[in-house]
Amino acid sequence: MTKSNGENPQKTQVKVSLMGGHRLDGATLYERTVTASLIGGADVDLTAVDIPDGAELRITKLSLIGGVRLRVRRDVRVEVHGLRLGGVRDDGPDEPGGPTVRVDAWGLIGGVSVVRV
């Protein structure tokens, strides 16, 4: 994951496709990532990423059909926002502190599934 310091503005990575989803992992993610597709989900693996306590990683998913499958460590808080038909499946920590991944999922069909390892 590419980090920004106080001197450099945060970079935003944008991935676009008409059909087919995106596979993202920690080595290729910026602090802000936008993935957009007409049909296709996003498979995001952050298990190997060392996100510092108090830091926030933001992923925005735009699609007509397609959800998000997110893999994170057990101590990472996940916040899900947006509008979509489909639920959110997550049994993660609710206590404050620690790193946070914010998922903004906008779409017609597709949920957000969080897998903790």
| Interacting residues of 93 by C-beta distance below 8 A, sequence separation 6+ | 74, 75, 76, 77
pTM of the model: 0.80
- The answer to whether residues 80 and 54 touch, using CB atoms and an 8 Å cutoff, is no
- The answer to whether residues 63 and 38 touch, using CB atoms and an 8 Å cutoff, is yes
The DSSP call for residue 28 is: G
Q: pLDDT tens digits, the chain, 117 residues: what are they?
A: 444 444 455 688 888 888 888 888 876 677 888 989 999 888 999 988 888 888 888 999 999 998 899 998 888 889 999 988 877 888 777 667 778 899 999 988 888 999 988
